[in-house]
A = this chain, B = another copy of it.
Amino acid sequence: MARLLRLIEDQPEVARPFLKQLHPHTGKAYLIGLTGSPGVGKSSLVDRLIGEFRKQNLTVAVVAVDPTSPFSGGALLGDRVRMQKHATDPGVFIRSLATRGAFGGLTPAVQGVVQVLDAAGFDRILIETVGVGQDEVDIVRLAQTTFVITVPGLGDEIQAIKAGIMEIADIMAVNKCDRPGAEQTLQQLNSMLEMNKFTGRERDWPPRIVKISARTGEGLSELMETLEAHRLFLTRERPDLLAAKRRNHFTELVLDLVKEETIRRVQQTLTTDSSWEERLAMVLTGENDPYTLAEELLGDREME
């Protein structure tokens, strides 16, 4: 399994035949996507969640994705530190994804890793990512339950993000709830929920907000109940929504794979056909423009 996971990152095209074979054996694990700004305490909370799931005798895999890590390599360090804590427990597996894949696609790599862990039989897979940009949104959307973590007093700018996060969060946790301003943050989130209701954006599952402290463990059991409630809501009450999610994931994956492959081919054309050098130079001098060049490139590919 570890070898296949490495292959997905290093040589995705070599991993592909294995992933094809694994596909029919997936779909059993329950996926939870976690995201939140830097410093909200995701790692501590994930540690807590692992502990809680293990108490319930559920096996847990964590996929930590750091979209900034092609530069930092920071994820891998965190990986090692965290692995030590659970090194003796075969029911826990933690993996960091540091690379974006050769052509910028992060989602196919994450989905590949999740698929392997799913086929390996893990009961719960936590997909953890830093931040709240589009990359992160795409990543947590791979999960069945989307779980967003925030803390009190992150400043005004965060409000806009919170409003955006409301659209994707099934569950929101206000961590470090012993900090000043926790009640205020909670109220703000609740009033945003209310607002969404009145603007007609009410969803099948209105996002739930839980106050926690990963440090002291406060609110943890309520959080676990809420996570389970959302799982039961999807699996028992609304299997249609669950099926739609799965369908969307695969549509996205297929589109991402097509995109990756197209870019790979175009880059090959650019590097092997020397006339592109000259045509690009003409864009720089203003004799040609990038839009026309893109059209030429698409036209050429079509005539192949």
Give A contacts to B, CB under 8 Å. 16, 19-20, 23-24, 27, 37-39, 42-43, 66-75, 77-78, 100, 104, 106, 130-137, 154-161, 163-168, 243, 246-247, 250-251, 253-255, 257-259, 261-263, 266-267, 270, 280, 283-284, 286-287, 289-294, 297-298, 302, 304
Q: How far is the CA of A42 from the CA of B156 in the complex (A)?
A: 11
Q: Assuming the A-B contacts A254-B293, A294-B254, are A135 and B135 also in contact, with contact meaning beta carbons closer than 8 angstroms in the complex?
A: yes
Is A39 a contact partner of B155 (Cβ separation < 8 A)?
yes
Is B69 a contact partner of A160 (Cβ separation < 8 A)?
yes
Q: How far is the CA of A24 from the CA of B78 in the complex (A)?
A: 48
Q: How far is the CA of A24 from the CA of B285 in the complex (A)?
A: 8
Is B74 a contact partner of A161 (Cβ separation < 8 A)?
yes
* Selected contact of A131 from candidates B23, B71, B132, B292, CB within 8 Å: B132
Question: Which B residues are in CB contact (< 8 Å) with A130?
Answer: 133, 157, 161
Q: How far is the CA of A10 from the CA of B168 in the complex (A)?
A: 23
Is A258 a contact partner of B69 (Cβ separation < 8 A)?
no
* Selected contact of A297 from candidates B75, B131, B254, CB within 8 Å: B254
Q: How far is the CA of A137 from the CA of B289 in the complex (A)?
A: 24
* Selected contact of A294 from candidates B133, B261, B280, B290, CB within 8 Å: B261
Is B250 a contact partner of A280 (Cβ separation < 8 A)?
yes
Is A168 a contact partner of B257 (Cβ separation < 8 A)?
no
Question: Which B residues are in CB contact (< 8 Å) with A39?
Answer: 154-158
Is B157 a contact partner of A134 (Cβ separation < 8 A)?
no
Q: A75-B160, A78-B160, A130-B157 are in contact. List 4 more A-B contacts (CB 8 A).
A: A20-B291, A74-B163, A250-B280, A259-B263
Instruction: Kindly provide the distance from the CB of A207 to the nearest chain B CB, expressed in whole angstroms.
Output: 13
Which residue of the partner chain B has the closest CB to A111?
B290
Question: Which B residues are in CB contact (< 8 Å) with A75?
Answer: 160
* Selected contact of A68 from candidates B106, B137, B258, CB within 8 Å: B137
- The 10 lowest CB-CB distance pairs between A and B, nearest first, are A74-B160, A39-B155, A71-B164, A72-B164, A133-B133, A24-B286, A257-B294, A23-B289, A68-B164, A71-B167
Question: Which B residues are in CB contact (< 8 Å) with A294?
Answer: 253-254, 257-258, 261
* Selected contact of A257 from candidates B77, B100, B290, CB within 8 Å: B290
Is B258 a contact partner of A298 (Cβ separation < 8 A)?
yes
Q: How far is the CA of A242 from the CA of B261 in the complex (A)?
A: 31
Is B298 a contact partner of A261 (Cβ separation < 8 A)?
yes
Q: How far is the CA of A262 from the CA of B23 in the complex (A)?
A: 26
24 contacts between A and B (CB under 8 A): A27-B286, A38-B154, A38-B155, A38-B157, A43-B157, A67-B134, A68-B161, A68-B164, A71-B165, A71-B166, A73-B163, A130-B157, A133-B133, A134-B135, A247-B280, A247-B284, A250-B284, A251-B270, A254-B293, A254-B297, A257-B291, A257-B294, A259-B259, A261-B298
Q: How far is the CA of A135 from the CA of B100 in the complex (A)?
A: 12
Is B72 a contact partner of A23 (Cβ separation < 8 A)?
no
